[in-house]
Structure 1
């Protein structure tokens, strides 16, 4: 990986961590201090442009990943549906009813876990998109001044 990309990622990561822990104002101050100290003069505008570009890339990537049906969750859901159907077939058979009930109970427990995981992932991605948009706004504002 390019050293410059590592520096840009470091600036973005510092903003995100500070934003989550200490709020918007403190994150902006630290980000701008990092940019001014690390990249002064004409290099600063170029660096801010690259930060803005990489942040927009991250936003686009996260928008794709925000859809819960674009990841391993779909395969997990499909396997749970298959097992649930099989457990219902087992419950219809007199000798295998207990096994079918146990399989269905486990499938329902895993379905609840899947739903909570997808909801948490969706919320986390939404927060990250909002924070990345703040970075884009901040870099646009700084480049305009």
Structure 2
């Protein structure tokens, strides 16, 4: 027996790529997504838009990563990102701006006809274009198991 939660939110397909292995990549990912302290070592993966796979849009910490039927060649593994909350990172020296950073859950679709998903991990997205794509998508009601 298992429990599930019913949620309404915005889902977007993203690609999970390789691990962020260098200190520079970890620092950039942490700083751009308003993560407090730059980790010295972690299992963060690069998150990219399917439309712009060369741009690292954020990071993901995934405990489980599907491999069968979701591979995207050199572009990573396709998963769904569910927008959970928004935080802001302040940028600029003379002109201050607050750039949005999305907290997301990464999900795998279990049953498409009933909108059932399984949690794969968590992460953050800071790329403005990917954030715009997500905001354009319609709210969906899903079951998370």
TM class, shorter-chain normalised? under 0.3
TM-score normalised over the length of structure 2: 0.22
Which structure has more helix as a fraction of its residues?
Answer: 1
- Rg (Cα) greater in structure: 1
TM-score normalised over the length of structure 1: 0.22
